[in-house]
Structure 1
């Protein structure tokens, strides 16, 4: 493939080989000149005329000093020389005489070319005055918690730069990334805690992030500007734009950002000890250019964060190293004075398991195995040791997922999911190993990690995934990352045993045999130790050449739960024992490792109980002629938790059922009441209007009017009760379409206009110059506004005023206040005003008609939409009601 093809065709089937540094384009908000070692321009961007007033053909093959001036050419050459030692960050403001345009200049050297970039200085208004960054930077530098330092950095970058979303993105050892801190405007989706596959930021992109610490994308929708000519006429190679600030994006990256709803971005590298620890990634939904001054400021934030991470990491490593050194020195002393060093290292309380962050340790010497804690079965360990011995030149082995890293063996189960091992002698083979159990949980991916790209038939190529929604993946068979200090400790213990045993695997085999025989002979179990334990314990063992597990003892709590008298003889075979007492048969299956497990058990003394079962190996000493294995079966009574869980579930179901019954009753009662009530209202209207002729005495008309008003009041009351009965806090459904709050306020004002005019009440509302869209049901918005406005007008004496005020909508919770100059509410009545049917105790309110449910309905509707309502009032002066909606209900304003 020739160079032209290499530039023009991106191999999307192998994203890691995408030539993102030689795409041959720059972003359209800037221009570029590339000069050779003699200072002569050989390549430039095609939009040069916008900046220099020269066509590309007029600039090519001319000295840089002629185009920009001798002073700028000298500065560019010096700055470019510096950039070969460290990433280019220096900028210079310059006015181009030919066009009068003021630009920011950058210069760096790449591939023997001096590259000068220019950006319009007028693209962005000057940065607003902001507080001193130094206190916040000091906080980041001195923060001992790494994740808090990351959050402080995200907050400071957003405060300085003003992007919609700022994330701190940490790379894991497998190069997947995780968002560990986030600062964002409330209109942006949160990515905090999400993981992203390594393919999202492939290897060549990570290499460039190491070299160019700041990367800004102003507008992904702008057309890229090509470099002319594409190939350097002297070298025949494309221009290497790896360090160029203006370097254009690859089509894959553009589409990736577009799929996220991002228009502009900025990325800062967080480099710790020369390695790419992570990124500070900034997103904006509109085109956005950050001026050099603020770029420098956020670079200082990234520097401070890197130093904080380095300090925290070194402090933790130093602590772990000191602890490991102390533990190793103690193990050296144990071996030096021990008659049985293998037993003391593996089985004693002062042994290896107490010195390392692990759940089990094992020593394999040929066919002999000595272990304690949670480790795989002896046959698995023997095969594992042989696999390590067959690996050429690799004495150490570290795995966080044995099922993945040892594919030739079955996964040992959650009790031993990860391992550190040290090959002591391949001839035996002799291996010492530590195992750790599964760290269960859920990994929250930003989209499906198994589909980082999708085939797009319309484009005839791969495209990045379109969904970044939460994708939950259960993490199975993985343990926690191993500490470097523990890895070193296992290696040191391996060397210690090599020296102590003088490279004698046969001696190790014989010692394990002795340990096995001695442990097998200790049949007297210290029952008094088991009896003081607060959980049920069954001690089981396999002695010497008998591979069948047998019950040796149970403690007092187990006997009490299952009604076992002290002289009752227990079944010896574990399978029979479990069957006798109705315990799970999986406890006798050595291949079953899914512990702890919860099962229902019927106790002869306590009835139906729930127990959590666990099985723990105390030790396992296997020689050539058999061995000894001792294990504990532990029973934890979790009946109280299960009963509480069942009670909560039952209460929840009862509450749901009661609410449903209430809803059905209210609906049925409403129907039964409305039918005759509508007839009463209809007939009273006919009498009042004398539809079928005169009614004679005028008193009949007056009575008909009274009946009509009473009927309408009763109908309003029924409707309000029905509305109130339907409300549940936080249960409102999402709106089918956004509701314009401006329109709803205008409509509500029109509906109370006649009532207010009739009583000379002024209604004041200064409508904002932008529209506010809410994610709410239109019916609910209308009912809230109409209830509040009609109440305000109703309880304001003639000649008064009602005011409507909006506020707090710019990225905050939205609030609306409706104030009146009415009689106000007495302090004694304030705590009752939201209660159904409550009427304030003054003459004016008692003479005013109403159901007494208006404010109760407003509060119920607000709570159903995640909002709240508050009240302030001064008796004799007026009342203000404020409703507040959470920012996530605010869709848009502008």
Structure 2
């Protein structure tokens, strides 16, 4: 026996969230209670630390194993460990798994051995709970992985990869929720794929702040690629050290341990989410933590080592597919950037205005930066084109934030928090220095794009104060945030291309000195061009749609004056340039009837109004103000701005007509729905009475009817009433679906049992028609999240149709089958008369019936297939018809994968294999 010492005090029961970012979660000094742990010293495997619950799993208390080799307390287990290490080439990492036999005949344990931080750790667990794939032959899991790899090969986007990954993990592990979570550049994240139980709230598309998974937690996800929490409410078991051993006071680093105890703060966070157990696999792309596959369950859940290994393989395959997809996107973006850089090689050709080519050309700086506006700073002079700040603001940015490498921001407000000059003009900037002496700088700008981000709870209230401490938030309800003052982020490829710009332009100009001389000369030529060359300005405005009025602001002035206009503006407003040239733009717009509020718009803004123009009368127009050019040298400065008028009268009239028609249709639809609801009630009551009385007469409850013909007529009355009642019910269902009033009441359906009941309901009809009804429902038929009544309608309608249109001696087969995408289908196949190809597209229309002799014999309303199709669409499924005249018809209703739930072990099944309903 040896002295023992507890190590590394676990986190307090009431932790402060303010300490979360500094919490040493890799050395909690404790493990989860569903297993036990030994720390061994090699080569003799002396036990230096043991979990306090060791006796529960090995039958040996910690004090008997501490300080002595493992062979003394667990000879068989130690032998198995040494054999596993020898088989794994001397115990090289990664971790080694094997079966560990405890002493005294206790059940075998699943063992995991790994080395970390100069220590050897042995983790022991009893076999975990069976998931839906446990106990299934290994070939099935292999087939699932093979199909998964094949699907990923054809995935066009990372969202598709994530969707298929979540689907396979859900089917493989049995967790109620499986999410694929992607980290964003600021380490916040969003859920890009999700499979969940219908009772669970949806997190798909929601964002979560970076504080939900702090830096030290992300680091552990990076080094330990699989993490399980078997029971959020479970106990914590401390580690005990051999006081006489080596470094007994040094905490044991459990960063790579699967049994590591969980931060109390994180446990509280999970409880607030209603989570009882988690299983998380890391997605590593390019050596970086890209995202997570997160499995949640409302109650405690512990899977076997085989399930953990399967999830690890799925995560590895998915990460590989993600890496290939990202690499392909980067390569394609790089090719585009290279083509845009190559287009700049000719801007310094003889006779070209290099500044005009760089700023205004189709393949200039705007194209390279995918920007809304661009500018050049040439030794104090500034020229800008498109949506940019004013020239003095550009100078300020160059002087305070330029120099050397590329400066990129998607929020100028963060770069200049005290300035409001950029708020209504641009939101993002890209800047690179072309030359230090003389100072040459190229800039690109993007406008603000207002975004709506949906968070899982308010990100600004990540913690709440309770009992004098901070605790994780309790609400994860969808919370909408409107993000302003930002542009779309600059992609790495665009930033890289901007970084190559100095070298490419210097090479194209013949050296940095010649680049400076050429830009200095051309910026003055460009300035003169914008001031005096009206035809050149027309070359700019001719590419703008609508009627364009150009205004000019001279150096030292704050007021814009009318400069020129295009022909469309002259036609609509019956004005020639000489009438308004040189007048204040505010006065010109006032003459046109433009309101003061619109006249005060900043560049980039737009508005709608009604104007009376001499050439066209009263029109609805969209007016936008656009910044064209700004040039400012030491000699002079000018700016050109364009007012663009677009006639949208016809669009507004069309919208008004559509709005009126929609309102009329809604009124008509409500009237139809009300009429059908009232009529169905009015008709059903007497029909039920007719059917009831006819049954009394047919059963001769109050005495014989006399002539046998009376009984025949009574049965005819009953059948006619039942037919009419069925027609009224179908009509009402169709009406509700068309009106959007038919909702689905989702429940978990035992699909095999439901199909079996439906076959029984139709069996009498099959016997009367001498049709063999064959049902094929595998024992593994899945459950389905759907409306049980609606699915019953689908099956009964398909079976009734098939039986009615199958001649005597034929066969109708009903079966369920699994789809390649993970969904499930109900299929009804008959050997009946079939449907001609020209009718297939129309049989789904209400009341449409193929005209043939059998149709006239059996009757019908033509509503059955239309109703089936409508109900399938309500469930986001689809109806597929395949038919050939004389050979029969196959009708298949397919449900999406996320509605499919694998059958649990022990789930009830009315029918296994194949059962036949014989004809009479």
TM-score category (smaller protein) = 0.7 to 0.9
What corresponds to 1:176 in structure 2?
188
Q: Offset at 1:554? A: 0.5
Pick from 615, 632, 642 the counterpart of residue 625 of structure 2: 615
Q: Offset at 1:628? A: 1.5
Equivalent runs, 1:330-369 vs 2, <5 Å:
356-362=369-375, 369=382
1:407 is the counterpart of 2:417: yes
What corresponds to 1:488 in structure 2?
499
Q: Offset at 1:144? A: 12
Pick from 279, 290, 312 the counterpart of residue 265 of structure 1: 279
The 2-side partners of 1:578 and 1:722 are apart by 59
1:246 is the counterpart of 2:253: no
Q: TM-score by structure 2 length?
A: 0.74
1:579 is the counterpart of 2:590: yes
- 1:218-248 Cα shifts (integer Å, max 9, x gaps): 6345735523227977443432212223323
The 2-side partners of 1:706 and 1:149 are apart by 57
Pick from 228, 234, 239 the counterpart of residue 228 of structure 1: 239
- 1:422-441 Cα shifts (integer Å, max 9, x gaps): 6899999x894624223636
Pick from 288, 291, 313 the counterpart of residue 303 of structure 2: 288
The 2-side partners of 1:775 and 1:131 are apart by 25
Pick from 425, 428, 438 the counterpart of residue 418 of structure 1: 428
Equivalent runs, 1:352-501 vs 2, <5 Å:
356-362=369-375, 369-381=382-394, 384=397, 388=401, 397-410=407-420, 412-413=422-423, 415-421=425-431, 432=441, 434-438=443-447, 440=449, 442=451, 444-448=453-457, 450-451=459-460, 453-455=462-464, 457=466, 462-463=471-472, 466-467=475-476, 469=478, 471=480, 473-474=482-483, 476-481=485-490, 483-486=494-497, 488=499
- 1:793-828 Cα shifts (integer Å, max 9, x gaps): 77788999876544449985444456778x756759
Q: Offset at 1:543? A: 1.7
- 1:655-696 Cα shifts (integer Å, max 9, x gaps): 433323333444455567678888989999999999999999
Compared with structure 1, are the counterparts of its residues 712 and 376 closer, same or farther at alpha carbon in structure 2 (3 Å cutoff)?
same
What corresponds to 2:16 in structure 1?
11
Contact 1:232-1:238 within 8 A present in 2 as well:
no
The 1-side partners of 2:797 and 2:655 are apart by 42
Secondary structure, in 3 states, of the residue corresponding to 1:579? helix
Q: Offset at 1:548? A: 1.3
Q: Offset at 1:9? A: 5.6
What corresponds to 2:742 in structure 1?
732
- 1:521-561 Cα shifts (integer Å, max 9, x gaps): 62654476368545422221012333210111101121122
Choose 74-83 or 221-230, whichever is displaced more: 74-83
What corresponds to 2:910 in structure 1?
none
What corresponds to 2:558 in structure 1?
547
Contact 1:614-1:633 within 8 A present in 2 as well:
yes
Q: Offset at 1:108? A: 1.3
What corresponds to 2:31 in structure 1?
26
- 1:430-472 Cα shifts (integer Å, max 9, x gaps): 8946242236364554513525734385997523555365856
- 1:450-495 Cα shifts (integer Å, max 9, x gaps): 2573438599752355536585645552232253325535787999
Pick from 101, 105, 108 the counterpart of residue 112 of structure 2: 105
The 2-side partners of 1:751 and 1:152 are apart by 38
Secondary structure, in 3 states, of the residue corresponding to 1:434? strand
Secondary structure, in 3 states, of the residue corresponding to 1:538? strand
Secondary structure, in 3 states, of the residue corresponding to 1:229? strand
What corresponds to 2:213 in structure 1?
201
Q: Offset at 1:353? A: 5.4
1:117 is the counterpart of 2:123: yes
Q: Offset at 1:562? A: 2.3
Q: Offset at 1:373? A: 2.9
Q: Offset at 1:619? A: 2.9
Q: Offset at 1:10? A: 3.6
Q: Which runs of 5+ in 1 are unaligned?
A: none
Compared with structure 1, are the counterparts of its residues 702 and 850 closer, same or farther at alpha carbon in structure 2 (3 Å cutoff)?
same
Compared with structure 1, are the counterparts of its residues 509 and 877 closer, same or farther at alpha carbon in structure 2 (3 Å cutoff)?
closer
The 2-side partners of 1:866 and 1:316 are apart by 35
The 2-side partners of 1:484 and 1:92 are apart by 46
Compared with structure 1, are the counterparts of its residues 216 and 157 closer, same or farther at alpha carbon in structure 2 (3 Å cutoff)?
farther
The 2-side partners of 1:667 and 1:93 are apart by 68
Contact 1:763-1:802 within 8 A present in 2 as well:
yes
Compared with structure 1, are the counterparts of its residues 755 and 245 closer, same or farther at alpha carbon in structure 2 (3 Å cutoff)?
closer
1:217 is the counterpart of 2:238: no
Secondary structure, in 3 states, of the residue corresponding to 2:496? helix
Q: Offset at 1:728? A: 1.8
What corresponds to 2:911 in structure 1?
none
Contact 1:512-1:621 within 8 A present in 2 as well:
no
Secondary structure, in 3 states, of the residue corresponding to 1:89? coil
The 2-side partners of 1:61 and 1:302 are apart by 44
Compared with structure 1, are the counterparts of its residues 570 and 42 closer, same or farther at alpha carbon in structure 2 (3 Å cutoff)?
same
What corresponds to 1:57 in structure 2?
63
- 1:190-223 Cα shifts (integer Å, max 9, x gaps): 86655432122211122223433x1231634573
Contact 1:12-1:18 within 8 A present in 2 as well:
no
The 2-side partners of 1:305 and 1:439 are apart by 34
Secondary structure, in 3 states, of the residue corresponding to 2:26? helix
Choose 419-428 or 227-236, whichever is displaced more: 419-428
Choose 844-853 or 606-615, whichever is displaced more: 844-853
Contact 1:218-1:265 within 8 A present in 2 as well:
yes
Q: Offset at 1:738? A: 5.8
Contact 1:538-1:551 within 8 A present in 2 as well:
yes
Q: Offset at 1:564? A: 2.9
What corresponds to 1:93 in structure 2?
98
- 1:273-318 Cα shifts (integer Å, max 9, x gaps): x6x3513425265643453764774575477468647855875797
The 1-side partners of 2:680 and 2:546 are apart by 58
Q: Which runs of 5+ in 2 are unaligned?
A: 1-6, 908-920
Compared with structure 1, are the counterparts of its residues 306 and 267 closer, same or farther at alpha carbon in structure 2 (3 Å cutoff)?
same
Q: Offset at 1:51? A: 5.2
Contact 1:525-1:553 within 8 A present in 2 as well:
no
- 1:813-860 Cα shifts (integer Å, max 9, x gaps): 444456778x75675997576666677777776565766655555555
Choose 130-139 or 666-675, whichever is displaced more: 130-139
Equivalent runs, 1:509-520 vs 2, <5 Å:
518=528
Compared with structure 1, are the counterparts of its residues 5 and 691 closer, same or farther at alpha carbon in structure 2 (3 Å cutoff)?
closer
Q: Offset at 1:91? A: 1.5
Secondary structure, in 3 states, of the residue corresponding to 2:139? coil
The 1-side partners of 2:836 and 2:341 are apart by 70
- 1:866-894 Cα shifts (integer Å, max 9, x gaps): 55556678889987765555555567854
Equivalent runs, 1:120-199 vs 2, <5 Å:
127-128=138-139, 130=142, 147=158, 154=165, 169-178=181-190, 182=193, 194-199=206-211
Compared with structure 1, are the counterparts of its residues 144 and 435 closer, same or farther at alpha carbon in structure 2 (3 Å cutoff)?
farther
Pick from 637, 651, 658 the counterpart of residue 627 of structure 1: 637
Contact 2:376-2:440 within 8 A present in 1 as well:
yes
Q: Offset at 1:605? A: 3.0
